[in-house]
Structure 1
Amino acid sequence: MRVLMVYPKYPDTFWSFKYALRFVGKRAAYPPLGLLTVAAMLPAAWDKRLIDLNVARLTDADLRWADYVFLSAMEIQRGSVKEVLARCRSLGVKTVAGGPLFTAEPETFAEVDYLVLNEAEATLPAFLADLEKGCARHIYATGARPDLSLTPVPAWELIDFRDYASMSIQFSRGCPYDCEFCNVTSLFGRKPRLKQKEQLLRELDALYHYGWRGSVFIVDDNFIGNKARMKGEILPALIGWMESRRHPFTFITETSINLADDEELLDLMRKAGFVHVFVGIETPSEESLKECKKFHNLHRDLLAAVRKIQNHGLQVSAGFIVGFDSDTPSIFERQINFIQKSGIVTAMVGLLNAPRGTRLFERLKQEKRLLQNFSGNNTDYSLNFIPKMNPQVLLDGYRRIVTTIYAPEPYYQRIWEFFREFRPARRAGIRHLRLCYLTALFKAMFYLGVLDKGRKHYWQLLIKTLFRRPRFLPEAITFAIYGFHFRRVYSGRG
């Protein structure tokens, strides 16, 4: 059997880092972890190839080679999915599809030959067995939450590591919280399911074996969903693994803000090599936090929590949302002020949207406020529901937030605010200096220091960092490049 794994293309988004990646000569931020994991579940005798449309072209010859094309995608990739499916159909190539997009609305993808939905560990074996017997059904779905001990090491041999800025692995699925706007719990449940520490270390061994050195994104929706196991078992094992190999990786992950409540956990994460966490802050408005059921963010000093995490050597990036029913026009200035004071350099501010599978979607459906234009991208000035606030006031206020916080002067000021609070660990491991970093330095000096309209603020930051925080000079250049990307993304919208 010849199987072609195809990962659809992302549009230009906040998280694509398209314009930043050009500075380091990379084509995509992360590899398609889901498809690589599914590939490892397929029979070893099958001939497998992978084409990530974010790094390579898909030719008709590629499609004609395949007996089956496997696709996985999220909502934001819908346009690319439709193009791939149309090409497969025109060439008579059978398709197999799964992942969040297809699981959320299988009824809209009648052109897919086989829909293998939910979690592959639970549905793929039955499909493969029926396929071998010649009686495969159109849809395979289940409500089961499979044990992650069934998950194999991803088929890393299918990618070219040079295409990507970071690698990614998964340690757990599920989140103990149930925010109204989030579909994680409908997809993966509220009880976090964790891999065994031996599995985690095997996956790290695989990346190490293939020669990867650098950033690894642990893609869990909430890495600290089970704090007891994390502190008692996982992080100590990770610390030992990293020390024995002289710290070949740095780790990025997603956590909830209550990470700030646990000094022991913060210290262990820093020792294990974590340098960056994404946190869902959403809003400084207590009324809006109550509305969206984000209770673990309530009754706390969010600014102090962010600073505490930064004080422990972890950079905080965060998600923010405007458009809650409880929001008033004052929310726009409140969001700007909070973000500037927090020193959160990468602040993803989006408009509230209601994905399928969320309690928000069901509530708005009952209230007859849903619209049909959900893009999967909450930074593109689109809404898929009728807000309580005047829509034009909401859109204008949102535009004011993103154009303000990513304008050169406030953006570079925020970087410095972060440097004031950041206390990274001094690492004894190997520093991985690569040619692409030197290339990025010279490109940044030219594009940001000469051509960019914010060049004055760029040089002010670099000179100030060089004299007062010289250790942070690499971060200063990296953040300046990120800012270039964010300004390009937002300048082309609205």
Structure 2
Amino acid sequence: MKKKILMIYPETPVAYWSFKHILKIVGKRAAFPPLGLLTVAALIPDHYEVRLVDLNVSALKESDIIDADLVFISAMIIQRDSFERAVALCRSLGKTVVAGGAYPTGSYRNIAGVDHFVIGEAEITLPKFFSDYESGVPRELYSSREKPDMRTSPVPRFDLIKYGSYTTMSLQYSRGCPFNCEFCDIIEMFGRVPRVKDPGQFVRELDALYETGYRGPLFIVDDNFIGNKKRVKTLLPAIAAWQKRRRYPYMIFTEASMDLANDEELMDMMIDAGFNKVFLGIETPVRESLLLSQKGQNAGIKLLEAVERIQRKGLEVTAGFILGFDSDPPDVFDIQIDFIRRSGIPTAMVGLLTALPNTQMYRRLESENRIIKETSGNNTHDFDLNFRPRMDVEDLVRGYKKVISRIYEPSAYFGRCLSLMKRMPSGRFYAGAVTPRMILFVVRIFLFSLARQAFSSYGLRYLKYLAQAMAIRPAFFPKAVKMALFGHHFYKITQGIIAADDFSAYIEKIRLSLRKRAERIRLGRIEDIMRDLFSLDAALLEKRFIMKIQKKYRSLHKEFRQAVEDQLQRLGDEFRVYIEVMLQSLRRRFEPRMTEAAAVRELTLRFGEIKNRLKRRYRYLNRDFRSYFDGLFAFFDERVDTLIREFESRCEAEE
């Protein structure tokens, strides 16, 4: 009987790249499949039965885990929370957990609950694990600096997923990048010598994907697809021939370095092969910051001209930008906004600089005693930097919020879309055959877009944009609608990011206010402690605090509420300190009257009234919000009961 392996891919939190708001519209569950796990699955010996659960697509059930002999989990840093929950559940059910991927590779020393770490590239380390496991002597850690020949990498196990759950499918051609960016962990994991698959091998993977029935966007996930230009120029004709034979079933996009703009032949070959989009790591238009981060390949290029050359060839440019470099000037935020506006790049992903583990930057900052903590991996949502930047943190975060607010303001976003359309040559929206299925899909997204955006707060700007798009390039209208939907996603995510941060700032303000008030009580600067005490229930539940907090909390989109959990927990802790200080102060001041039975009865009665009011009002809190304060009210009850018992005991002793 075959042993069973369950593969788990953790949930990716809401982010710009998650495309959550688009997924709902197009009826999909996730943007991309877990290509790494599908490749690992193909390396598992045939005498194992393999299942895969992608938590972005379906929930993990205990029965899935119970049925397995081994559980494999792979994760990126941004998936850490979901990864830890999955590991904890597997451990509670007594299962052996094997972990790999980017997050375990960089942080395995700090991860609990995993039995075996298989890190690095699986073509090298996974066979060693299975050899030891089947011999009954598996080690805790399997690691190797050896870089496998990509020609040994198998065709991914696409049979383990339902392609209809994803907007885009993925393949990999190469690993490694020839450049030396200080902040990048890719060169640490995969090296600086790009390793590639043979053209025939890659075509076989295209065949395998085609046989699943999938048609649509295809993402070649390489971090720098053109890292080895000579070899990629031997691949592209094979892809082009394959696409032409099948009437271009795939619209391909990938990631590349800026030097793509200087190679006309390469761009022409990519277009002939069906590429329509490329992601560029521009990072910043500030030359000093590029040089400091060891991204000299961008410092020697006129970036705006390079972007426009690529666009005019027929490749839409999406790009990544970073704020927080040591040499960023005070006006870097305005510089970034202006550059993005002039670039005609609709999808401009701006994030705060993050010190990733096992990077040159991390090691430098560590030597400078500037590392604060490990990163969450979410450089667009997490404003709590994991290192000390040269720029004032508040200025940096404020400037970042300004940038994302400006670039994803609908008028600015639609303006970049129109600039792109003017630059793109005719006929570059779609190279394949127009099928009834495609027409229905375009009609569907247009109707959804119209329903969501025409009646939104920016509805007039949206309708004006569509009219301008029709006037500029009628053939691009489906593309214009698709970009509008992306803009809606970016706009909603940006609003959510800023609202969550504003909420956190509001909670922090309350927390500091409570701390100051507790200090005044501790120092005896509040004379009427009884009056202050008996307004405590109002402070906890009425306008000043919790009811108002709940209203603001409920206004946050559900997907962003998790981001403020820590702040709410800290607020609860601050309330506990406040209550403790107040009750201790009351005890000291009431001590001379502890032997007066009438005074003790009055105090007991008043406390009883407070507790009853708290219980009644507590019922009106929403369930998801109430959970943050369950412990607080129990703490208040327990401390008050203890104090009353002490008073009553003293009084009885005197009598």
TM superposition score category, shorter chain reference: over 0.9
1:431 aligns with 2:434: yes
Residue 24 (structure 1) aligns with: 26
Residue 627 (structure 2) aligns with: none
Cα offset, 1:110, TM superposition: 3.5
- Partners of 1:281 and 1:319 within 8 A in 2: yes
2:432 and 2:377 mapped to 1: Cα distance? 39
What SS class does the counterpart of residue 311 from structure 2 fall into?
Answer: helix
Moved more, 292-301 or 185-194: 292-301
1:243-258 to 2 correspondences below 5 Å:
243-258=244-259
Residue 140 (structure 2) aligns with: 138
1:59-111 Cα offsets, whole Å, 9 max, x none, are: 11111111111110000000000100110011011111101111111111241
1:226 and 1:299 mapped to 2: Cα distance? 20
1:29-68 to 2 correspondences below 5 Å:
29-68=31-70
- Partners of 1:449 and 1:455 within 8 A in 2: yes
1:369 and 1:34 mapped to 2: Cα distance? 33
Higher RCO (Cα < 8 Å, 6 or more apart): 1
Cα offset, 1:245, TM superposition: 1.3
1:479 aligns with 2:483: yes
- Partners of 1:76 and 1:376 within 8 A in 2: yes
Gaps of 5+ in 1: none
1:215-226 to 2 correspondences below 5 Å:
215-226=217-228
What SS class does the counterpart of residue 326 from structure 1 fall into?
Answer: coil
Cα offset, 1:373, TM superposition: 4.7
Residue 493 (structure 2) aligns with: 489
Residue 460 (structure 2) aligns with: 456
RMSD of aligned Cα (Å): 1.1
What SS class does the counterpart of residue 31 from structure 1 fall into?
Answer: coil
Residue 305 (structure 2) aligns with: 304
1:51 and 1:119 mapped to 2: Cα distance? 21
What SS class does the counterpart of residue 317 from structure 1 fall into?
Answer: strand
1:233-291 Cα offsets, whole Å, 9 max, x none, are: 11111111111111111101000011000000010000000000000000110110001
- Partners of 2:427 and 2:475 within 8 A in 1: no
- Partners of 2:274 and 2:431 within 8 A in 1: no
- Partners of 1:276 and 1:317 within 8 A in 2: yes
Amino acid of the structure 2 residue aligned with 1:235: L
Cα offset, 1:436, TM superposition: 4.3
Which structure shows the higher helix fraction?
2
1:224 and 1:317 mapped to 2: Cα distance? 16
Among the aligned pairs, what percent are the same residue?
47
1:375-414 to 2 correspondences below 5 Å:
375-380=376-381, 381-414=383-416
1:54 and 1:33 mapped to 2: Cα distance? 14
Residue 315 (structure 1) aligns with: 316
Moved more, 239-248 or 249-258: 239-248
2:263 and 2:224 mapped to 1: Cα distance? 15
1:278 aligns with 2:283: no
What SS class does the counterpart of residue 388 from structure 1 fall into?
Answer: coil
Cα offset, 1:51, TM superposition: 0.5
Amino acid of the structure 1 residue aligned with 2:243: M
What SS class does the counterpart of residue 105 from structure 1 fall into?
Answer: helix
1:441 pairs with 442, 446, 454, which one?
446
1:413 and 1:75 mapped to 2: Cα distance? 34
Residue 129 (structure 1) aligns with: 131
Amino acid of the structure 1 residue aligned with 2:123: E
1:179-209 Cα offsets, whole Å, 9 max, x none, are: 0111111000000000011110000000111
1:299 and 1:5 mapped to 2: Cα distance? 45
1:153 pairs with 152, 155, 160, which one?
155
1:148-186 Cα offsets, whole Å, 9 max, x none, are: 111110110110111000000000000000101111110
What SS class does the counterpart of residue 355 from structure 1 fall into?
Answer: coil
Gaps of 5+ in 2: 502-655
2:224 and 2:342 mapped to 1: Cα distance? 25
1:279 and 1:58 mapped to 2: Cα distance? 35
2:354 and 2:69 mapped to 1: Cα distance? 38
Cα offset, 1:397, TM superposition: 0.6
1:363-404 Cα offsets, whole Å, 9 max, x none, are: 100000111151101101231111111111111111000000
What SS class does the counterpart of residue 492 from structure 1 fall into?
Answer: helix
Cα offset, 1:439, TM superposition: 2.5
1:428 and 1:192 mapped to 2: Cα distance? 29
- Partners of 1:412 and 1:461 within 8 A in 2: yes
1:184 and 1:236 mapped to 2: Cα distance? 27
Q: In 2 relative to 1, CA 181–424 (structure 1 residues): closer, same or farther, beyond 3 Å? A: farther
TM-score, normalised to structure 1, is: 0.98
1:373 and 1:401 mapped to 2: Cα distance? 25
2:142 and 2:243 mapped to 1: Cα distance? 40
1:2-401 to 2 correspondences below 5 Å:
2-231=4-233, 233-380=234-381, 381-401=383-403
- Partners of 2:23 and 2:167 within 8 A in 1: yes
| Number of positions where the alignment pairs a residue of Structure 1 with one of Structure 2 | 492
2:259 and 2:24 mapped to 1: Cα distance? 35
Residue 625 (structure 2) aligns with: none
What SS class does the counterpart of residue 37 from structure 2 fall into?
Answer: helix
2:441 and 2:72 mapped to 1: Cα distance? 33
What SS class does the counterpart of residue 454 from structure 2 fall into?
Answer: helix
1:122 and 1:105 mapped to 2: Cα distance? 20
What SS class does the counterpart of residue 203 from structure 2 fall into?
Answer: helix
- Partners of 2:42 and 2:156 within 8 A in 1: yes
TM-score, normalised to structure 2, is: 0.74
1:428 and 1:204 mapped to 2: Cα distance? 17
1:466-487 Cα offsets, whole Å, 9 max, x none, are: 2221111111111111111112
- Which is greater in Rg? 2
Amino acid of the structure 2 residue aligned with 1:458: Y
1:227 and 1:373 mapped to 2: Cα distance? 35
Cα offset, 1:428, TM superposition: 5.6
Q: In 2 relative to 1, CA 55–424 (structure 1 residues): closer, same or farther, beyond 3 Å? A: farther
- Partners of 1:24 and 1:437 within 8 A in 2: no
Cα offset, 1:52, TM superposition: 0.3
Residue 470 (structure 2) aligns with: 466
Q: In 2 relative to 1, CA 130–424 (structure 1 residues): closer, same or farther, beyond 3 Å? A: farther
